[in-house]
Amino acid sequence: MDLAKVTSKGQVTIPIDIRKKLGLKNGDKVLFVEEAGRIYMINSSMDAFREAQMEFAGEADRVGLRDDEDIVNMIKELRKEGVVDR
């Protein structure tokens, strides 16, 4: 367990062990989430990435992409059509 002091401006220094566990670097943003009476601090970039993963879940199956070769072929086809630049 780590302890941090709150300044008069409401600022805290996140202990280095916690920053490492959250993958936080200088300039990163953190997200505070309340859930079941507890407050969680989350790396906002990682949370956005997880949300994007959830949104895209099942899309590969929906469009018939089964493996890397299917993806490469799809990109080649899109390039032929001029939809994707090289």
Model pTM above 0.75: no
Closest CA to 28 of 15, 11, 46, 10: 46
Q: What residue spans define the domains of the chain?
A: 16-80
Beta bridge partners of residue 43, listed in sequence order = 30
* Structure confidence by residue, pLDDT tens digits, 31-47: 998 999 999 998 888 77
Do 40 and 29 contact (CB within 8 A), yes or no? no
**pLDDT tens digit string along 16-73?**
999 999 999 999 999 998 999 999 998 888 777 778 888 888 888 888 888 999 989 9
